[in-house]
């Protein structure tokens, strides 16, 4: 299924055909929306370092402080309260991995390194697992196709796929410990295992058919440095638990908090798109309409879709805008376009409305082949 715009051609077999389909799809775009969005937001592209640094440091500080409180306080009630605060704060801090893929390093000197040091390595989610992958999701001719690492046609799949998509994410911390404490060191000695680790276990992806290519250039150096650091951290934590230096209950609480953050992100991912594309190349406008904005007056999206992620459709329309500019950009475009504009069709009421719509869609359609 696609939206009411005309359909682009089906799958293609060559780069020339791909380019031809892209050009054809572009003719079906809402050019007024695209031009207006670019025009009224032209002055919002500058990154504001003070916002990035303060947001990251405060979020991480609250997250780790609440984690320590959850470990030390007496009584399950206060432990759960502190753990929930830690989940939300660390989830917000972790969400900056998305910004790392879109902002230039020279716009925020030291921010990539600081994020990995403060969040990426401690949570075993170094940025190399997203950088070099997420940009493929934004590629004009990859979005929603079999070559998109971050797309599954969930609305076209069997109904049990939706809850399973969320539940399985709770196991992510276990998988990450296996990946960094066991597979990474072994893969240095076993070349076939290294190929498997790079292709299958080195990207934050949801498309099971995606295979990552080996890193090149600057990313290769960053990848290896981050992977070594994450492996040493994972091995050190497990050793500390095994020797009794780190109490098992403290470790399990920390792992549960990390799992909670991953599950929350998976729920947000579940409603970031409508997931209705069946593998065809889509125009920019179709990609926009398959994505989701949850603008004010809704308040809860500030918690479950932080760091600008509540404007995910707008982000796909204007991927270069920093997260702190998306709210103002949405307001400006709303003021510039009439109510009948395509722009408003990507706005949705909230999380549960989106989940219910996705469940109805998957229940009412035959499973994708």
The band of 363, judged by pLDDT with boundaries at 50, 70 and 90, is low
Please state, in angstroms and rounded to a whole number, the distance separating the CA atoms of residues 56 and 50: 10
- Model pLDDT, residue 140: 87
For the residues 142-153, what does the mean pLDDT come to? 94
CA 337 to chain centroid: 29
For the residues 178-205, what does the mean pLDDT come to? 97
Least confident residue range of 26-35, 106-115, 202-211, 335-344: 26-35
- Model pLDDT, residue 10: 32
For the residues 286-309, what does the mean pLDDT come to? 95
- Model pLDDT, residue 364: 55
Q: What percent of the chain has pLDDT over 70?
A: 91
End-to-end CA distance of the chain: 14
Does residue 13 register a pLDDT over 50? no
In angstroms, what is the C-alpha Rg of the chain? 21
For 240-253, how does the pLDDT look when each residue is reduced to its tens digit (9 = 90+)? 999 999 999 999 99
Does residue 9 register a pLDDT over 50? no
Helices (H), the chain: 15-26, 31-40, 49-72, 76-94, 96-100, 111-115, 134-137, 161-167, 172-177, 184-189, 191-200, 217-242, 248-270, 284-289, 301-304, 312-317, 326-336, 351-364
177 within 8 A of 235, measured Cβ to Cβ: no
pLDDT: is 169 or 359 the higher one? 169
Continuous segment of H or E residues that includes residue 340: none
32 within 8 A of 288, measured Cβ to Cβ: no
For the residues 3-24, what does the mean pLDDT come to? 38
Q: What is the mean pLDDT of the chain?
A: 90
Does residue 26 register a pLDDT over 70? no
The band of 359, judged by pLDDT with boundaries at 50, 70 and 90, is confident
For the residues 290-316, what does the mean pLDDT come to? 96
- Model pLDDT, residue 29: 86
321 within 8 A of 40, measured Cβ to Cβ: no
The band of 17, judged by pLDDT with boundaries at 50, 70 and 90, is very low
Buried b (16+ CB within 10 A) or exposed e, 121-142: bbbbbbbbbbbbbbebbbebbb
pTM: 0.89
Does residue 1 register a pLDDT over 80? no
Residue 212 makes CB contacts below 8 A (sequence gap 6+) with 132, 133, 149, 198, 199, 200, 202, 203, 205
Does residue 285 register a pLDDT over 70? yes
Does residue 8 register a pLDDT over 50? no
For the residues 33-48, what does the mean pLDDT come to? 96
- Model pLDDT, residue 159: 85
148 within 8 A of 277, measured Cβ to Cβ: no
For 71-124, how does the pLDDT look when each residue is reduced to its tens digit (9 = 90+)? 999 999 999 999 999 999 999 999 999 999 999 889 999 999 999 999 999 999
């Amino acid at each position: 299924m696609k939206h009411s715009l005309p359909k682009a051609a089906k799958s293609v077999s060559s780069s020339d055909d791909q380019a031809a389909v892209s050009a054809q799809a572009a003719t079906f775009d809402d050019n007024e929306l695209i031009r207006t969005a670019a025009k009224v937001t032209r002055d919002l592209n500058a990154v504001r370092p003070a916002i990035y640094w303060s947001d990251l440091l405060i979020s991480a500080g609250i997250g780790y402080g609440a984690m320590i409180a959850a470990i030390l306080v007496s009584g399950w009630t206060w432990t759960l309260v502190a753990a929930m605060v830690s989940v939300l704060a660390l989830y917000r801090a972790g969400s900056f991995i998305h910004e790392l893929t879109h902002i230039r390093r020279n716009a925020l000197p030291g921010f990539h390194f600081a994020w990995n040091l403060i969040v990426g390595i401690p949570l075993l989610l170094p940025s190399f697992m997203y950088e070099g992958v997420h940009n493929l999701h934004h590629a004009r001719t990859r979005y929603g196709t079999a070559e998109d690492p971050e797309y599954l046609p969930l609305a076209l799949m069997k109904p049990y796929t939706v809850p399973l998509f969320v539940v399985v994410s709770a196991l992510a911390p276990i998988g990450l410990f296996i990946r960094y404490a066991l597979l990474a060191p072994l893969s240095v000695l076993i070349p076939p295992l290294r190929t498997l680790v790079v292709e299958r276990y080195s990207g934050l992806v949801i498309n099971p058919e995606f295979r990552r290519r080996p890193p090149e250039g600057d990313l290769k150096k960053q990848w290896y440095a981050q992977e070594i650091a994450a492996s040493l951290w994972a091995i050190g934590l497990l050793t500390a638990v095994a020797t009794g230096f780190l109490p098992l209950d403290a470790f399990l609480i920390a792992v549960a908090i990390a799992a909670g953050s991953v599950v929350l992100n998976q729920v947000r991912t579940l409603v970031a798109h409508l997931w209705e594309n069946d593998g065809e190349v889509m125009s920019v406008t179709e990609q926009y309409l398959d994505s989701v904005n949850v603008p004010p007056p809704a308040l809860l999206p500030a918690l479950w879709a932080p760091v600008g992620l509540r404007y995910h459709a707008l982000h796909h329309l204007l991927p270069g805008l920093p997260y702190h500019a998306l709210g103002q950009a949405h307001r400006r475009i709303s003021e510039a376009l009439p109510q009948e504009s395509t722009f408003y069709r990507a706005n949705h009421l909230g999380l549960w409305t989106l989940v219910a719509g996705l469940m109805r869609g998957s229940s009412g359609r035959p499973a994708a082949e």
